[in-house]
Structure 1
Amino acid sequence: MNSVNCMPEDCAKQWEILLLLLSSEEKKIDRTNENEIDTMNYFYNNKGVQKILLHWLQQMKLTYAKKTSESDTALKCDEVSLWWRQKGNEKFRANLVEESYKCYTKSVLYAKHNSLMYSLALANRSAALLRMKRFQECLSDIILAIANGYPTVQQHKLLLRRADCHIELKQRSEARASIDAAIRHADSLKLFATNALEFERHVKILERKLDSVEEEAIVNESVTLPECFMGLNPHFNAASNAIELRYNDTVGRHVVAKANTKRGDVLFSEEPYAWVTLPSEERVCEMCCKADINPVPCDVCSRSVYCDERCRARASFHRWECVAAQSALFPTIGIAHLALRVLLISANDGFPTPPRRLAEPCTAADLFKSYSHVDNIKIYDKDTPPFFRMFNLVTNFDKMNNMDYIQYALTATMLTLYLEKFTSFFEYLPSKVPCALSHGELRLFAAAIVLRSLGQLVCNGHATLSLSVVEEDDERNGRTLTEKEVRRATAIYPSAAMMNHSCDPNIINTFYNSRLIIRCSRELSPGCEVLNCYGPHRAHEPTAQRRAQLRAQYMFTCACSACSDSERKDFVLLFSAYACQSCKGPVSWQSRRPRCQQCSAEFHPDRALTLIDRAEELATQADLAKSLEERCEKMSASYRLRQQVWHRHHAGLRAVADKLARLYADAGEFSRSMELIKQNIQNLEYQFGSFSVEVAHELRKLSGVMLERIFNSPHHVDHREWCLEAHKIIKKAIQLMELNYGPWEPLVSRLKEQEAFVASLLAETRTPDTADCIHHNLHYNLKI
């Protein structure tokens, strides 16, 4: 093991190398036939392995769980908090409110809990939130600031800020109470004359604002989640009554429809057994997975955040993870963090009594084995403890490469050592298992749970996705919005995990915070298998690549319809095909002498490559051009050259058309922009399907350009027809966005506001003679 001494200086970068070195030493024995207890009994009691892993853990803590610079520290530090608050003050004075908010948030994260510095950071952040019109979050920060010791001599200012929020929210009585509380508090302070005059001036401003406000009923903004079609299935936890769980020797457990379903029907609505956030610049609540939060930090570290104090209090697992979070352990070990979380969640809930009574004395092996003595279908009854569903997910250890298995075992050993040496978890665990286990057996049991979870998560884990919107309103990028899917977390959903894979799935996964909601993407009849896509999709990759990925991660060779049908298996190659120089049919450049798939004419690549080079030159010139007119001209020429070379369905052609459409929209040539976007929609429908998320995004772009045209030419003779068409497209965009992401996404709300606006324009120009025609034109049946 002399190689261990030749490691990178950054200990986080040592982890993968350490695993390779240790597993290479151990690979002589094939351990994939062992059970988890036997494997962990060897590794956890291996003194040499223990010594190396413990040394690495200590180095991680020494390196990362400390102040690393004047602007960052894993633990609380008032100096760092002050540094960020001062930065925030500079930004706020310069009227850079959103940047000041980010600085104040960091000040909140680094301030010691229940301290003056914490209350000052919260108060400053509330001022930025008020300017950003995030009134509810502003109120929350004011409450927290006062509760955490905000100076009494300044509290009247916070009370007036609270009143301002209530006024903006049209809550007259709460605003009046806050103003009165501020006046009483100011009177008790006996302010200096100048301060008293300033206070009175502020009060008068707020009272004038209050006089013009009419009390509004408080609208409940909570989201109503869709219910499972035909209600919940009592024998299939979190699943619809329209589906059932079955088993056969060929495909194992699988999900089958037992009733007719249609597109959009909800088949699963499931909270995860466990989940963890992924490293990201965006703050996500570590308890409920809510995004775009006003973060409330852990009391001890600056690395974990929550959407409010209630979520922070509920996150009891963090007490065992806090030191690891400080030590940058979780970004280093990836999905192993979720395996640790499975153990912590299971312990928090309490390990259930096994279905077969254990004889005393009990060992880790006895307890572990007893949990697998279950009916693999009946454990999905809704009243069965969820641990049994988690424990009995497949691991694929018997099919796994021995080297991979050993690395999982080493990771489980490291995490168990972490719990033993850096936390008091094993003092807590004895009360959470159903029988008395010795000191050593408890650690062995915990290590085996982590190892088993690692195997289960690799072949059953879900990435939780949601929509992130980037506004591009500068001169170069145009007026349209760019949406992108982002992975916020990795989670395990034991019921949804029962679906088998297809490269052409018949369901759509959507997420609300941590909840997974699965809908039909097409009609299903009784007896049809409900199929998920584990990643490789027929519209994205050729059959050979999909099968290779599935074999590597999930240990099976895919035989789904998309992989077995010879006419469909290389469908995706069409979207990288060149155009035949004779008939314009598709030419896949897979051999030295490519030929057209339609007319069999030989393809001559030299001319095609020459034209593509010229098209690239023109695109570069377009990017560098100073005038918008010249940019449009150059990019249009580039696009026309590519049309001569690439097949009409080529994905690269869509990308260039998208850039050109943006340029035309910037130049006010909306009809040209719309024509290109409509061409892209037809292409995307062909590749991904009419109800796909890709089509939904393109419809969103089309509706944006249509609205620009309506805004810019309000008196045009075709204005009403434009409104009718835009209304129709926006409605379709809403339906597809709701199907693919859920109605709770902010983008859906914005689209609905746009729909209402266009509908109001139509209502203003409606006449009795056109009412029936309008009703007909606005009807857009998507069969959802």
Structure 2
Amino acid sequence: MSDMSNFKMPEDCAKQWEILLLLLSSEEKKIDRTSDFETDTMNYFLKNEGVRKILLHWLSEMRSTYAKKVSDTDTALKCDEVSLLWRQQGNEKFRANHVLDSYKCYTKSVMYATHDGTMYPLALANRSAALLRLKRFQECLSDVSLSLEAGYPREQRHKLLLRRADCLVELRRRRRAAAALAEARALSAAAPLSPADTVEFDRLVQAMEDKMAAQEDKEETKEEPLPGLYLGENPDFHAASNAVELRRNDAAGRHVVTKEATRRGDVLFSEEPYAWVALPTDSPVCEGCCQQDINPVPCGGCSRVAFCSASCRARAAAHRWECVGAAANLYPTIGIAHLALRVLLISAEHGFPPLPRDEPEPATAEQLFRGYERVDSIQIYKADTHPFYRMFNLVTNFDKMNNSDYIQYALTATMLTLYLENYTEFFSYLPSRVPYALSGSQLRLAAAGVVLRGLGQLVCNGHATLSLAAVDDGDGRTVTEREVRRATAIYPSAAMMNHSCEPNIINTFHKNRLIIRCASELPAGGEVFNCYGPARAREPAAHRRASLRAQYMFTCACTACRDPQRRDFVLLFSAYACQSCKGPVVCAGARAQCAQCRAPFQLAKSLATIERAHELLLQADRASSIEERCERTHAAFKLKQQVWHRHHSSLRAAADRLARLYADAGEFTKSVELIKQNIQSHEYQFGSFSVEVAHELRKLSDVMLERILNSPQNPDYRDWCLETHKILKKAVQLTSLNYGSWEPLVRRLRGHEALVAGLLADSQAPAPANTVHRDLHYNLKI
């Protein structure tokens, strides 16, 4: 190793990581890995004292920098002082009736409190009070139970039991509520209550009993069952439908083909990940199941990891090896390498399987790896095969990777192995999880090899799990949903699908489960395609191919990339309008002409018109009345219509902006017409059953609902109701298809659908027959 002492590194050690990788990989570029196995590479780096010294120093710096009390209000480890500060702030917010703010403060208090101290049960109890006010009754019940289990003071427990009873009464669980009240009475009798407190307690109990007397028990709402695999589960293809099979040939490698014809919406895969990790987001995600929008239950050792429940926390056994790294801010710094570490930890939790019977007993990590590789890559997908075989035999593309990238992966795997060796007891645990008596050095080498192999596999096989998040638009009448990446996961069965820039499947996620549906009807014998990168509707062929080559190391030759008429289809949506015939003009430079009429295109004239439109929008932002804002924005929109092709994506954005303004002004019909135009354009670009059309239908249904609720006396009221019901029906279908029926947005849309159905039932004339389509297999016409 050359002397690096004169190189000035960033002060923040987290920012040093990428620079360290570049420097170290440049030093080690001489490695010839043409015949290397993962264990050969890792053996070299684990024995390299210079590399070990640098990486161990960096790990030590990360821990000393981050695994501590960062400020008076934040700590990576548990600290009752910080917890108390947040609880006190929560009390102030609660007394001021800022309940949501108090809940957020109490949650921080819960996260920072030491679990064996007095602060933890108090923080949970305070948070349960805020949850009760927020009418989040199930979560309140959970916090009450956790607080009691954590040792909430006995003399105050009657209050928590009264809160439990209150929740159960609200949920109409009469028997459980009565039991909670009886227990609260017994504890209050033994508690040192003042006469005034006794009177208040008795009053609250009586009020609950009176409410219970007027109630009937309500059955607990059961979660909607997940959709089943079409034609049942395939015994020869884990987590796959009986309608598909896994094949292999020289041209396509392993790939998925339909055995039976399928329809849009049929489920082809329903797969739990082999391993997954949550991504940093503004709202917490459960580290056990990937549930979003949770009431966080903290890890017992660090304050950086949260779960949705105590049971999920107990099941996440692998976190015990990650906890020190989480406190040291290790995982946000190393990105996808965290998932490679999780692959190793999950493999150890499952237990590494024995080799096939005809393989000799291994004495080294390399022999173990070679035994795992010498299996039939189709047969390992049988349902009764150990899942590690499917994970281990995913492609890595190491043979196509440039040397610098490969070495950086190896250095990262080295660092993670050193972390496990020096900061955890993992290597004391690992021998019991491997069915062969390998030496300690060979076990360490095998672990490092799994991490390195995992890094290569995840780069070309990983999935991002997506879900919907609502964005508050302030005072507007509509809200925006956007897709949020919650986690990165590896699904070995779904990874068998080959790529196309025009996929014929839709990925949906329930927590961390991947559910794959047909996006269109597929004939028997047709190949099932996923899209690994940007799709035809989003990027031109050159950009798609460059992206796929960079990450997946192949040149795409799908139909959408080969067909000259289709490969650059997306350019239409950034085209100008010809000044003669209004046809699309793709302007690659200062001089261009219309492809339809061959008229020269005057770019400067169009840019001047756009500039005038922008000035009108600035005037609209400064306008004092909503009417003037609408007028100026409409004028800007008309100018943009002169310049941009009718399908231009920016013209859609301008129409959306104007539609929102009209909705805010109560001009619902004008808003509806603009959104309908956008839907037609989205259908043309993305398809009638796309997620983009689903989002536009949700907007349209919201504005239509506002229109009928605000104009019950309008002569068009019943026609509006019929159209709104039709649009809501379609919005439910498309949102369910693209995101799953379990999404909160689907429940909201179904509620709106039921509301409009009720309004229709209350109106006089009967609805005409067949006004509502009942399946997904038709093209939307608005």
**TM-score, normalised with respect to structure 2:** 0.98
Secondary structure of 1:247 counterpart: strand
The one-letter code of the counterpart of 1:777 is T
Is residue 782 from structure 1 mapped to residue 780 from structure 2 by the alignment? no
1:447-481 CA-partner distances (Å, limit 9, x unpaired): 1110000000000000000111123342xxx1101
Task: Give, in whole Å, the separation in 2 of the partners of 1:494 and 1:624.
Answer: 54
The equivalent of 2:173 in structure 1 is 171
The one-letter code of the counterpart of 1:604 is Q
Is residue 230 from structure 1 mapped to residue 231 from structure 2 by the alignment? yes
The equivalent of 2:159 in structure 1 is 157
- Is the Cα–Cα contact under 8 Å of residues 590 and 603 in structure 2 kept in the other structure? no
Matches within 5 A, 1:565-644: 565-644=563-642
The equivalent of 1:325 in structure 2 is 326
Aligned residue pairs, count: 776
Task: Give, in whole Å, the separation in 1 of the partners of 2:704 and 2:412.
Answer: 54
The equivalent of 1:27 in structure 2 is 29
Secondary structure of 1:489 counterpart: strand
1:394-421 CA-partner distances (Å, limit 9, x unpaired): 0000000110000000000000000001
Secondary structure of 1:607 counterpart: helix
How far 1:781 moved relative to its partner? 4.7
- Is the Cα–Cα contact under 8 Å of residues 33 and 398 in structure 1 kept in the other structure? no
The equivalent of 1:6 in structure 2 is 8
The equivalent of 2:402 in structure 1 is 401
Task: Give, in whole Å, the separation in 2 of the partners of 1:361 and 1:527.
Answer: 41
The equivalent of 2:552 in structure 1 is 554
Residues 500, 361 of structure 1: CA spacing in aligned structure 2 closer, same or farther, 3 A cutoff?
closer
- Is the Cα–Cα contact under 8 Å of residues 700 and 733 in structure 1 kept in the other structure? yes
Is residue 287 from structure 1 mapped to residue 294 from structure 2 by the alignment? no
Matches within 5 A, 1:638-657: 638-657=636-655
The equivalent of 1:751 in structure 2 is 749
Secondary structure of 1:29 counterpart: coil
How far 1:648 moved relative to its partner? 0.4
The equivalent of 2:353 in structure 1 is 352
Is residue 436 from structure 1 mapped to residue 437 from structure 2 by the alignment? yes
The equivalent of 1:464 in structure 2 is 465
- Is the Cα–Cα contact under 8 Å of residues 223 and 744 in structure 1 kept in the other structure? yes
- Is the Cα–Cα contact under 8 Å of residues 659 and 675 in structure 2 kept in the other structure? yes
Secondary structure of 1:777 counterpart: coil
How far 1:278 moved relative to its partner? 0.3
- Is the Cα–Cα contact under 8 Å of residues 737 and 743 in structure 1 kept in the other structure? yes
Task: Give, in whole Å, the separation in 2 of the partners of 1:242 and 1:210.
Answer: 51
The equivalent of 2:660 in structure 1 is 662
Task: Give, in whole Å, the separation in 2 of the partners of 1:730 and 1:435.
Answer: 60
The equivalent of 1:736 in structure 2 is 734
How far 1:114 moved relative to its partner? 3.2
Is residue 412 from structure 1 mapped to residue 413 from structure 2 by the alignment? yes
Task: Give, in whole Å, the separation in 1 of the partners of 2:162 and 2:302.
Answer: 32
Residues 724, 118 of structure 1: CA spacing in aligned structure 2 closer, same or farther, 3 A cutoff?
same
Task: Pick one of 101, 104, 107 that aligns with 1:102.
Answer: 104
Task: Give, in whole Å, the separation in 1 of the partners of 2:357 and 2:773.
Answer: 60
How far 1:6 moved relative to its partner? 1.1
Is residue 262 from structure 1 mapped to residue 260 from structure 2 by the alignment? no
Residues 19, 674 of structure 1: CA spacing in aligned structure 2 closer, same or farther, 3 A cutoff?
same
TM-align CA RMSD: 1.2
Task: Give, in whole Å, the separation in 2 of the partners of 1:584 and 1:626.
Answer: 36
How far 1:717 moved relative to its partner? 1.3
Task: Pick one of 37, 58, 61 that aligns with 1:59.
Answer: 61
How far 1:89 moved relative to its partner? 1.0
- Is the Cα–Cα contact under 8 Å of residues 610 and 639 in structure 2 kept in the other structure? yes
The one-letter code of the counterpart of 1:313 is A
Task: Give, in whole Å, the separation in 1 of the partners of 2:448 and 2:388.
Answer: 16
The one-letter code of the counterpart of 1:739 is L
Q: Which runs of 5+ in 1 are unaligned?
A: none
Task: Give, in whole Å, the separation in 1 of the partners of 2:418 and 2:156.
Answer: 49
Task: Give, in whole Å, the separation in 2 of the partners of 1:234 and 1:206.
Answer: 54
Is residue 273 from structure 1 mapped to residue 311 from structure 2 by the alignment? no
The one-letter code of the counterpart of 2:660 is R
Secondary structure of 1:288 counterpart: coil
The one-letter code of the counterpart of 1:194 is A
Task: Give, in whole Å, the separation in 1 of the partners of 2:745 and 2:98.
Answer: 25
Task: Give, in whole Å, the separation in 2 of the partners of 1:279 and 1:65.
Answer: 18
- Is the Cα–Cα contact under 8 Å of residues 32 and 405 in structure 1 kept in the other structure? no
Q: Which moved more, 1:676-685 or 1:96-105?
A: 96-105
The equivalent of 1:720 in structure 2 is 718
Q: Which moved more, 1:746-755 or 1:300-309?
A: 300-309
How far 1:360 moved relative to its partner? 5.3
1:325-366 CA-partner distances (Å, limit 9, x unpaired): 010000000000000000000011111001155545611110
1:591-640 CA-partner distances (Å, limit 9, x unpaired): 34211111111111111010011111111111221210111011101100
Matches within 5 A, 1:506-585: 506-585=504-583
Secondary structure of 2:464 counterpart: strand
Identity, % of aligned positions: 67
Task: Give, in whole Å, the separation in 2 of the partners of 1:487 and 1:397.
Answer: 27
The one-letter code of the counterpart of 1:250 is A
1:109-138 CA-partner distances (Å, limit 9, x unpaired): 111113220000000000011011110110
Matches within 5 A, 1:353-372: 353-359=354-360, 362-372=363-373
Residues 703, 32 of structure 1: CA spacing in aligned structure 2 closer, same or farther, 3 A cutoff?
farther
How far 1:204 moved relative to its partner? 2.6
Secondary structure of 1:108 counterpart: helix
The equivalent of 1:203 in structure 2 is 205
The equivalent of 2:244 in structure 1 is 243
Task: Give, in whole Å, the separation in 1 of the partners of 2:569 and 2:16.
Answer: 42
Secondary structure of 2:601 counterpart: coil
The equivalent of 1:184 in structure 2 is 186
Task: Give, in whole Å, the separation in 2 of the partners of 1:564 and 1:590.
Answer: 22
Q: Which runs of 5+ in 2 are unaligned?
A: none
The equivalent of 1:70 in structure 2 is 72
- Is the Cα–Cα contact under 8 Å of residues 421 and 427 in structure 2 kept in the other structure? yes
Residues 45, 357 of structure 1: CA spacing in aligned structure 2 closer, same or farther, 3 A cutoff?
farther
- Is the Cα–Cα contact under 8 Å of residues 470 and 482 in structure 2 kept in the other structure? yes
The equivalent of 1:374 in structure 2 is 375
- Is the Cα–Cα contact under 8 Å of residues 45 and 410 in structure 2 kept in the other structure? yes
How far 1:665 moved relative to its partner? 0.4
The one-letter code of the counterpart of 1:243 is V
Task: Give, in whole Å, the separation in 1 of the partners of 2:39 and 2:420.
Answer: 18
How far 1:94 moved relative to its partner? 1.6
- Is the Cα–Cα contact under 8 Å of residues 17 and 333 in structure 2 kept in the other structure? yes
Task: Give, in whole Å, the separation in 1 of the partners of 2:88 and 2:104.
Answer: 12
- Is the Cα–Cα contact under 8 Å of residues 577 and 588 in structure 1 kept in the other structure? yes
How far 1:198 moved relative to its partner? 2.2
- Is the Cα–Cα contact under 8 Å of residues 473 and 480 in structure 1 kept in the other structure? no
How far 1:99 moved relative to its partner? 1.3
- Is the Cα–Cα contact under 8 Å of residues 129 and 137 in structure 1 kept in the other structure? yes
Q: Which moved more, 1:602-611 or 1:24-33?
A: 24-33
Task: Give, in whole Å, the separation in 2 of the partners of 1:116 and 1:9.
Answer: 38
Task: Give, in whole Å, the separation in 2 of the partners of 1:110 and 1:170.
Answer: 34
- Is the Cα–Cα contact under 8 Å of residues 31 and 405 in structure 1 kept in the other structure? no
How far 1:93 moved relative to its partner? 1.4
